[in-house]
Amino acid sequence: MAVKSVSIRLEEEMLEKIGYVADYEGRSVNSHILVLIRDNIKAFEAEHGVIDGEIDSALNVKPARKHK
């Protein structure tokens, strides 16, 4: 499966906040955004049916760190 790059524009404060959440979860911003996208696809498919494809949900995503 090919990996593609996408550029997005967002407000600086939003980037800072997503960076905070990603750091809290022990991920990079990129990995955290991938988690959010995969969660969105999973929720969509649960409601509307599976979309054709073979996405590995663990691909390019670091697991969240364990919180104490």
Query: Under DSSP, is residue 24 helix (H, G, I), strand (E, B) or coil?
Result: helix
pLDDT tens-digit series, residues 2-53:
888 999 999 999 999 999 999 999 999 999 999 999 899 889 999 999 888 8
Residue 31: inside a domain, yes or no?
A: yes
Contacts of 21 (CB under 8 A, 6+ apart): 32
Residue 55: inside a domain, yes or no?
A: no
Residue 20: inside a domain, yes or no?
A: yes
Q: What pTM value is reported for the model? A: 0.77
Whole-angstrom Cα distance, residue 60 to residue 36?
Answer: 13
Check residue 29 and give its pLDDT. Answer: 95
Our count of domains for the chain comes to: 1
Range of the domain at 30: 12-48
Residue 38: inside a domain, yes or no?
A: yes
User: H/E element holding 31?
Assistant: helix 29-48
Residue 56: inside a domain, yes or no?
A: no
Bigger pLDDT: 34 or 68?
34
Contact 19, 25 (CB under 8 A): no
Check residue 10 and give its pLDDT. Answer: 96
